[in-house]
Structure 1
Amino acid sequence: MKCKEIFRKIEEKYPLERAENWDNPGLLVGSQEQEVKKIFLALDVTDETLEAAVKARADLMITHHPLIFSGMKKITAEDFIGRRVMKLIEHHISYYAMHTNFDIMGMAELSADYLQLSKKGILEITYEEGTQKEGLGRYGQLPKPMTLEECARFVKQQFQLPFVKVYGNPDTMVSSAAICTGSGKSLLKAVLKSQAEVYVTGDMDYHSAIDAVAQGICILDAGHYGTEYIFMEYMKKELQTMIPEVEVETMPAVHPCKLV
């Protein structure tokens, strides 16, 4: 199957036009005409994931985060991104990213399901046409009331995480939650509006977190990778359904941050 046929199927469900304006999803390296027998999935193109794709003899690499965000004036071995682009080309691996189009059309609902949220709403609407609304993040009711500490353990268990950072009194009772995977501090105003009692996200800086707590929102920082690596296994199942004739392999989950 050719790359363009695979992209057509992906984009029927996750249209590129749903992505944020600043984003850069889609085919970033390679040819639409390349024949694909094997796809390799990862969250990012790193030296480790790229080497794994090469060893897997993949024809197409798909990641959540784009390797290239802005214009590049040169591709050289002196630049780490340039080296990765060159390696993709050297090994005849086309490369495709599905970032905020997937965040909006897939990850938001997926992450809410991980938290078992009910009575769900969209945290920040990015697209609206008639009765159809799409957007970033979700908010809703937790499966049962629990303390913040219990909620942290619940999130840790549901996302299979080594640790979760907690901002707020561990004994605070919470029954509603909001979640935005990746880096979600820009959605804090939307969280306040949703009246969620705890916000699950990643990349929360100190001042944003303590300011949120001062405004009545507990914060569970589950990490950027920790909230988004679920993309890999989810998309593996999606692709196996969409294109069963193509083999799909994923990068093993390896959390980049460790406590010592």
Structure 2
Amino acid sequence: MLISHIYEMLDSISPFSLQEAWDNSGLNIGNMHQEVESIHLALELDMKIARDLPPRALIITHHPLIFAPLKAINTASYPAKLIEILLQKQCALIAMHTNFDTTHLNAHFTREILGFANAQAQGIAQMCEIEPTPISALAMRCKNALKLEHIRYTRLDSRQKELEIHRVYVVCGSGASYAREILTPNSCLITGDVKYHDAMCAQCVDVGFIDVEHYASEREFAKILKSILQIKHLNATIAPNFSPFSYV
């Protein structure tokens, strides 16, 4: 299989032109004329997956392996350590990140996992109007849907009363940076990686955050893409990822 043929097919599913300006979706490792013998899918490349890949494999990840320009290739550091393994095995890596968020992942997570069936796309986010609901009830809904032991959310508004939510926005991964452009009073954003100051600012303007963890919001990436590739008559193997965090 030629990388160029697979790339064109992926681009038809989720155009790489839809990625955010800061993103680096597309071919991160390899070249378009390269032949590969197998396809593997993962949320992201880690050391175990890199070591387990067979030679001349293509791995399609959600997270790009390379974001910022590399000033040096120090193979004792990230991401060069992983790049070295791929190159030694003649493996290639294609990332489908914010383009896939826009076309597939955010909608799947919002509608199929969280159950907001009437959600509509609003830029990269999904938006759903709901009956006025305490944010604690929405947080519990997310906790149960994702089978999480703990969940963080901003419960209080500027008057120190519980937020009542009329509109829900969802951005998988780390979406807090979108809050200012999409949130209005009595709305909340379900996302991951919410910072302390994000939460404090939200409380001041009567909007909320429900932090469902970065990994939990994106862990179905490989499953979604595998089902799409099957329709295209391409077999792919899912390489399991796990959250790097443990709790005490």
**Aligning the two structures, in what range does the TM-score lie when normalised by the shorter sequence?**
0.7 to 0.9
What amino acid maps onto 1:184 in structure 2?
A: G
Q: Quick one: which of 201, 205, 209 aligns to 1:211?
A: 201
8 Å CA contact retained: 1:181, 1:228:
yes
How far is the alpha carbon of 1:171 from its aligned partner?
5.9
Give the number of the structure whose residues are more often strand, by fraction: 1
- Counterpart position of 1:18: 18
What amino acid maps onto 2:39 in structure 1?
A: I
- Counterpart position of 1:181: 172
- Counterpart position of 1:148: 135
- Bigger Cα displacement from structure 2, 220-229 vs 172-181: 172-181
8 Å CA contact retained: 1:52, 1:251:
no
- Counterpart position of 1:237: 227
State the SS of the aligned residue for 1:247. Answer: coil
Q: Quick one: which of 92, 109, 112 aligns to 2:110?
A: 112
Superposed, 1:1-260 pairs within 5 Å as 1-54=1-54, 59-113=57-111, 114-123=113-122, 135-142=123-130, 146-169=133-156, 172-193=163-184, 197-242=187-232, 244=233, 246-260=234-248
Where structure 1 has 5 or more consecutive residues not aligned to the other structure, the ranges are 124-134
What amino acid maps onto 2:116 in structure 1?
A: L
Provide the alpha-carbon RMSD of the alignment. 2.4
Question: 2 CA distance for matches of 1:241 and 1:77?
Answer: 38
Question: 1 CA distance for matches of 2:154 and 2:178?
Answer: 17
Change in CA separation of 1:160 and 1:250 when aligned onto 2, cut-off 3 Å: farther
How far is the alpha carbon of 1:196 from its aligned partner?
5.5
8 Å CA contact retained: 1:175, 1:197:
yes
8 Å CA contact retained: 1:117, 1:141:
no
Change in CA separation of 1:165 and 1:43 when aligned onto 2, cut-off 3 Å: same
8 Å CA contact retained: 2:166, 2:187:
yes
Where structure 2 has 5 or more consecutive residues not aligned to the other structure, the ranges are none
Change in CA separation of 1:71 and 1:197 when aligned onto 2, cut-off 3 Å: closer
State the SS of the aligned residue for 1:232. Answer: helix
What amino acid maps onto 2:42 in structure 1?
A: A
Question: 1 CA distance for matches of 2:67 and 2:235?
Answer: 28
Question: 2 CA distance for matches of 1:258 and 1:32?
Answer: 39
Q: Deviations over 1:168-197 (max 9, x none)?
A: 14965445311111111211123324x553
Question: 1 CA distance for matches of 2:92 and 2:147?
Answer: 31
State the SS of the aligned residue for 2:172. Answer: strand
Question: 2 CA distance for matches of 1:180 and 1:230?
Answer: 14
8 Å CA contact retained: 1:108, 1:181:
yes
State the SS of the aligned residue for 1:80. Answer: coil
Q: Deviations over 1:129-155 (max 9, x none)?
A: xxxxxx21111135x664433322221
Change in CA separation of 1:80 and 1:218 when aligned onto 2, cut-off 3 Å: closer
- Percent identity over the alignment is 27
What amino acid maps onto 1:72 in structure 2?
A: L
Aligned residues: 243
How far is the alpha carbon of 1:61 from its aligned partner?
0.7
Question: 2 CA distance for matches of 1:67 and 1:176?
Answer: 34
